[in-house]
């Protein structure tokens, strides 16, 4: 039998001024199929999905869903046609129950009563059918990350989704939760649902998808069965060149100089965020020169508090932090002057000021001497020369040094931040989620630079939710759960499975 086409995009073109985000893209999705959508940052994936979901209107082209034209620019029409989307960043109200979140927008505000009983029964039926077990009356704030994702999927299914778009669905899951998600997806496919799967994790793409399409610079450049594809082939198609991830080599290096105090030492530290939430409890860790120590964990277990504390943005409640055997610098300015660099998790809001030009962002955290300012005046020529050096040495691709920073792609913005930090040759680098949401080309480049910093003797504290990244870079790994951290053990003593268990709070013995 000929497969049923459930979705057809024909000649989709979208321009933003002089920029063509999508150029004449045509693709189809079949009933019960997983279509993987790949592309580096800025390739046009998000724009294409926004057009499909009605958030943007295409300049040219058409969309058909189950053989019927989809009205452009109408999210309600996309939902009614059976299109659902689970975003990478969940759109849930933490103070409401799972049931409340699923029902939001499905009932008229003028309705005299809410049909919560039948809705809860329907949700339990869907949860049982697809292995998405969530208690409808549970408050979202009390749910794990994996359970919150189930709520998002149930929300789409409750609305009658027959085509589901999943954007980086495993980015914040433990390995065990990812395995459970894939089992759920397979049961959904068996029931006739169709999936568009967007991910930078190529192993997962090859494991779950039937067909793969690749976008590059707004154009569809490849389409192939997943069974005939390889990671190396997909990476090369995505970025237009051969990509080789750098390999960490074991070395004695500076980390073996036991007579020296560690660069960073946290001893039984307690700290809490100003706005409430998960803090640090009895947290102990050290980072020596010439090593990368990674902190793994599911988002929301205190990693943001650790990063803010070590960036001088949060006060220590108890315990002690030392830098090279002495007191920890007390402010962000003192940290930079002492030789500490930081790469924050949120490149858009904490790493850069989006409305400033690139050259100004390049010198924002440089406080040494009077290189870029003096006597109340800014030394703009010196700042521009410094920015040009970062752009050249760190392969930041842009139209102009005067370009507004928010116009940069995620990968180029991250390279700018990394260059701003590493060009100062800090002794200690605190880097949080350095490659989150980036394509494999940008990942390879950033990994290479962090390993180069390690090789010259810098200590690196890496906070990451990407286990592939952690195993590729780290000399030692600690796992955070509910504000506490395991002993940071050599990477060779961990496995993906044991880290996943530790991320869920289980006690795990080291392997030899």
Q: Dump pLDDT digits (tens) for 140-155.
A: 888 877 788 889 889 9
Are 287 and 335 contained in the same domain?
A: yes
How far is it, in rounded angstroms, from Cα 491 to Cα 489?
6
Q: Out of 53-62, 213-222, 399-408, 478-487, pick the least confident.
A: 399-408
What is the pTM assigned to this prediction? 0.76
Residues facing residue 198 across a β-bridge? 37, 167
Higher pLDDT, 319 or 330: 319
Are 153 and 88 contained in the same domain?
A: yes
User: Domains in the chain: how many in total?
Assistant: 3
The answer to whether residue 309 scores a pLDDT higher than 50 is yes
Beta strands in 393-473 (DSSP E): 428-432, 459-463
Tens-place pLDDT, residues 263-281: 999 999 999 887 666 789 9
Tens-place pLDDT, residues 104-127: 877 666 566 667 888 899 999 988
Higher pLDDT, 469 or 108: 469
> Tell me, what CATH number does 123's domain have?
3.40.50.300
Are 494 and 363 contained in the same domain?
A: no
Higher pLDDT, 277 or 45: 45
Beta strands in 121-277 (DSSP E): 163-167, 194-198, 211-216, 219-225, 264-271
Token duo for residue 425 = 């040759």
- Hey, which of 220-224, 333-337, 367-371 has the most confident mean pLDDT? 220-224
* Domain stop point among 423, 446, 465: 423
Q: Is residue 344 part of a domain?
A: no
Q: Give 3-state DSSP helix, strand, coil % of the chain, rounded to 5.
A: 35, 25, 40
Are 366 and 477 contained in the same domain?
A: no
Are 232 and 255 contained in the same domain?
A: no
Q: What is the DSSP secondary structure assignment for residue 281, as one 8-state letter?
A: E
Tens-place pLDDT, residues 361-381: 999 887 655 677 766 677 888
How far is it, in rounded angstroms, from Cα 477 to Cα 493?
9
Are 200 and 297 contained in the same domain?
A: no
Are 151 and 78 contained in the same domain?
A: yes
Instruction: Note the pLDDT of residue 109.
Output: 60
- State the residue range of the domain holding 291: 244-339+426-512
Q: How many residues does the chain have?
A: 512
Are 171 and 295 contained in the same domain?
A: no
Q: Is residue 346 part of a domain?
A: no
Q: Is residue 347 part of a domain?
A: no
Q: CA-based Rg of the chain, rounded to a whole angstrom?
A: 24
Q: Is residue 102 part of a domain?
A: yes
The answer to whether residue 387 scores a pLDDT higher than 50 is yes
Q: Is residue 345 part of a domain?
A: no
Q: Is residue 67 part of a domain?
A: yes
* Domain stop point among 239, 271, 304: 239
Are 296 and 403 contained in the same domain?
A: no
* Domain stop point among 220, 239, 258: 239
Are 160 and 291 contained in the same domain?
A: no
Chain centroid to CA 244: 21
Are 103 and 139 contained in the same domain?
A: yes
The answer to whether residue 132 scores a pLDDT higher than 50 is yes
């Amino acid at each position: 039998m000929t497969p049923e086409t459930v979705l057809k995009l024909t000649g989709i073109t979208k321009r933003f001024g002089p920029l063509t985000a999508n150029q004449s893209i045509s693709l189809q999705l079949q009933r019960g199929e997983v279509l993987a959508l790949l592309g580096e940052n800025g390739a046009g994936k998000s724009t294409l999905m926004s057009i499909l979901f009605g958030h943007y209107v295409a300049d040219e082209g058409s969309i058909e869903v189950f053989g019927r034209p989809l009205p452009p620019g109408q999210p309600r029409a996309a939902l009614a046609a059976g299109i659902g989307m689970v975003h990478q960043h969940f759109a849930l109200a933490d103070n409401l129950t799972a049931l409340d979140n699923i029902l939001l927008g499905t009932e008229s505000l003028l309705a005299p009563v809410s049909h919560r009983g039948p809705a809860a029964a329907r949700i339990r039926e869907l949860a049982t059918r697809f292995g998405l077990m969530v208690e409808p009356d549970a408050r979202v704030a009390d749910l794990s990350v994996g359970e919150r994702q189930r709520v998002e999927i149930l929300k789409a299914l409750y609305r009658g989704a027959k085509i589901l778009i999943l954007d980086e669905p495993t980015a914040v899951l433990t390995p065990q939760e990812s395995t459970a998600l894939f089992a759920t997806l397979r049961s959904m496919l068996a029931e006739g649902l169709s999936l568009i799967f967007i991910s930078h994790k190529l192993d997962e793409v090859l494991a779950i998808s039937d067909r793969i399409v690749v976008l590059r610079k707004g154009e569809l450049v490849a389409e192939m069965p997943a069974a005939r594809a390889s990671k190396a082939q997909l990476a090369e198609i995505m970025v237009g060149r051969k990509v080789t991830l750098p390999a960490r080599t074991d070395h004695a290096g500076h980390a073996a100089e036991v007579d020296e105090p560690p660069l960073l030492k946290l001893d039984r530290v307690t700290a809490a965020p100003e706005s409430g939430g998960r803090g640090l409890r009895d947290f102990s860790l050290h980072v020596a020169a010439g090593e990368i120590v990674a902190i793994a964990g599911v988002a929301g277990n205190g990693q943001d508090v650790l990063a803010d504390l070590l960036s001088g943005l949060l006060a220590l409640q108890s315990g002690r932090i030392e830098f090279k055997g002495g007191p920890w610098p007390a402010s962000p300015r003192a940290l930079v002057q002492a030789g500490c660099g930081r790469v924050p998790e949120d490149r858009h809001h904490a790493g850069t000021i989006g409305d400033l030009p690139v050259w100004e962002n390049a010198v924002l955290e440089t406080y040494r001497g009077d290189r870029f300012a003096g006597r109340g005046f800014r030394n703009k020529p010196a700042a521009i020369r410094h920015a040009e050096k970062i752009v050249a040495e760190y392969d930041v691709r842009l139209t102009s040094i005067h370009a507004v920073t928010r116009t940069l792609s995620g990968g180029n913005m991250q390279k700018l931040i990394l260059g701003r930090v590493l060009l100062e040759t800090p002794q200690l680098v605190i880097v949080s989620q350095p490659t989150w949401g980036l394509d494999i080309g940008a990942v390879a480049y950033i990994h290479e630079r962090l390993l180069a910093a390690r090789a010259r003797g810098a200590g690196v504290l890496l906070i990451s939710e990407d286990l592939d990244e952690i195993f590729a870079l780290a000399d030692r790994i600690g796992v955070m759960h509910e504000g506490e951290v395991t002993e940071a053990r050599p990477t060779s003593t961990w496995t993906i499975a044991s880290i996943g268990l530790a991320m869920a709070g289980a006690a795990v013995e080291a392997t030899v």
